[in-house]
Amino acid sequence: MKNIGKILLLLCLLTACGTKEDEHLSVYRNMDDLNGKKVAILTGCFQEEILEKQYPEVEVLRIDNAADMVQALVTKRCEAIVLDDYMVNYHSHSAKGIVPLEEPFVVAEMGVCFAKGPDTQLLDMFNAFLRQIKADGTYDEMYDRWMYHAHEAEMPHIPLSTDGKPLRVATCSTAPPLDFVKNGKLVGLEVEIITRFASSIGRPIIWSDMNFSSIIPAIVRGTHDIVVAGINITPQRQESVNFSDPHILCHTLVAVRQENAVGYALGAIDRVDATSFYDKVKDSIQRNIIDEDRYLMIWGGLKLTAMIALLACLFGTLFGGVICWMRMSRHTPLRRVASFYINLMRGTPVLVLLMIMFYVVFAGTSVDAVVVSIITFSMNFSAYVSEMFRSSIRSIDKGQTEAGIALGFTPARTFIHIVMPQAFKHVLPVYKGELISLVKMTSVVGYIAVQDLTKVSDIIRSRTFDALFPLIMVAILYFILSWIFAAILDFIGKKVG
């Protein structure tokens, strides 16, 4: 543990040193000044196309959430970011040193997405609801509270019905102040609107927190009824989903670092960080772990990661045993099937498999995303372990089996008493490696709205704008988790051996 401390310290020091001042600073007045520069944009947002068409010389950097975009700008991975005004407002409050250019990039309307189809009952109800809250002043109050005072804003208590068919709502919690996590709860302007809507029609809600890029597919596949994630109304999207009447008018802005903005003078802004390293770490712990009881969320993510890995390992091993048996069977069809399965699983990236399982195989069913994750990783793991089992069984000399059979054991008992214990010793080291890689592989489940350890760190980062600390923390947690798994395996190995 001492070593981990040292590594952590080193990493912290590296970032604490900060980046060097540029000798010659470019000044960006509008988009034309950014030609040939790197500009970051949210993956899958509609501005992407405008950016590419109107400014073909701009180098586009696609990033999955707003916090990472801000982070990319601050750490000089790009020169500017294209982001909606409310987000820029929100972030310039937390992350110092980014300013929007005066000229907006584009002005657009946002809407709530509903499934496409002839049945527009839910959509009509929502539009009616929207007209009503706009008329009675509820909307203005909410808008003011979230858009201008997001850091202090609280969700009011809105009673929800407990029975009735639940509304399945997908969102992307990395879009404050519309949708984000505070004190471990999903909050924000859109979250409040939808909650009020559900309350008004007397239905409970099931929220799914997903990546922005996979959110439209969710409604297209029919896994969700409503999607809210600050989605702009575009003709393209209208082909896939039905939009409600515009519920938010949004100005998309281009933000740059303060030193590149017009009117910036060296020393005009307080950039000197006088706080000591110790205070910085203390502050990071306070902000990332203690504030808003985030440790509960972290603990929840850790438990989920551990559970997915453990169950996937368990089922994967059992299923891997079956696949191995089929692969070594005397019957050619069984062998073929097993071989095909192994090649298929090993040749498919696990993330792609996960998406296919969630959006295609289990689309429209009520199977929980966590269960889908466990199934997916079990399948992946089984293919790898079955080959491990096979090679370790092969490595046992045929003479061992013959001696067992000659002694009077049946072939099955020979396998259990003679071959398996020896194969077990062979397979253990490789198996351990595979298990550790399984633990780490589960970090992609965030793509299908499972709030695991990695997803939790994304959420925390989007709130605290501390890129380093949550990532290091999560890295350490993964390391500890892998270490515990390996230790358990060693223990079992010793018991059996």
Partner 1 sequence: MIQISHLRKTYDNGLEVLRDVNATIGRGEVISIIGPSGTGKSTFLRCLNLLESPTGGSIIVDGQDLLSKQTDVPRLRRKMGMVFQSFNLFNHLSVMDNLCIGPVKLLGKSRKQAEARAMELLEMVGLAEKAHAMPSQLSGGQKQRVAIARCLTMNPEIILFDEPTSALDPTMVSEVLGVIRTLAKQGMTMVIVTHEMHFAREVSTRIFYMDQGVVYEEGTPEQIFDHPQHERTRVFINRIRNYHYVIRSPRYDLYQLQGGMALFCTRYYLSEHIQHQVQLLAEEVLQVIPLDKGEVDLALRYSEECHTISLELLMPPGIVTVWKSPQFAPDALSLSIIQGLCDNIIESVDDTPEGPRVRLIFNLKQNEQ
User: Which stretches of the chain bind partner 1, using CB under 8 A?
Assistant: 397, 399-400, 402-410, 413, 417-418, 421-422, 425
CB of 388 to partner 1, least distance (A): 18
Q: Which residues contact 154 (CB under 8 A, 6 or more apart)?
A: 187
Comparing CA positions, the residue from 494, 478, 351, 343 lying closest to residue 424 is: 494
Q: Measure the CA–CA gap between 105 and 38, rounded to whole angstroms.
A: 16
Q: Which residues contact 165 (CB under 8 A, 6 or more apart)?
A: 203
CB of 396 to partner 1, least distance (A): 8
CB of 426 to partner 1, least distance (A): 10
Nearer to partner 1, 206 or 403 (CB): 403
Nearer to partner 1, 391 or 400 (CB): 400
Comparing CA positions, the residue from 354, 378, 358 lying closest to residue 368 is: 358
Q: Measure the CA–CA gap between 93 and 254, rounded to whole angstroms.
A: 16
CB of 398 to partner 1, least distance (A): 9
Nearer to partner 1, 1 or 412 (CB): 412
- State the virtual CA torsion across 483, 452, 175, 74 in degrees, nearest 10: 10
Nearer to partner 1, 362 or 431 (CB): 431
Rg of the Cα atoms in the chain:
27
CB of 487 to partner 1, least distance (A): 23
Q: Measure the CA–CA gap between 359 and 376, rounded to whole angstroms.
A: 12
Nearer to partner 1, 110 or 423 (CB): 423
What is the number of residues in the chain? 497
DSSP code per residue over 219-275 = HHTTS-SEEESSPBP-HHHHHHEEE-S--EEEEEEEEEEGGGSTT--TTSS-----S
Pairing of strands 113-115, 226-228: antiparallel
Q: Measure the CA–CA gap between 246 and 112, rounded to whole angstroms.
A: 8
Nearer to partner 1, 2 or 398 (CB): 398
CB of 331 to partner 1, least distance (A): 16
CB of 215 to partner 1, least distance (A): 54
Q: Are 240 and 115 in contact (CB under 8 A)?
A: no
Helices marked H in 330-410? 332-347, 350-356, 369-394, 398-407
Q: Measure the CA–CA gap between 262 and 23, rounded to whole angstroms.
A: 17
Nearer to partner 1, 13 or 403 (CB): 403
Nearer to partner 1, 206 or 407 (CB): 407
Nearer to partner 1, 309 or 396 (CB): 396
CB of 412 to partner 1, least distance (A): 10
Nearer to partner 1, 276 or 410 (CB): 410
| Neighbouring-strand partners of residue 167 | 205
CB of 395 to partner 1, least distance (A): 11
CB of 424 to partner 1, least distance (A): 9
Q: Measure the CA–CA gap between 485 and 497, rounded to whole angstroms.
A: 18
CA triple 33-35-40, angle to 5 deg: 100
Q: Is 31 left (phi over 0), alpha (psi -120 to 50) or beta?
A: alpha
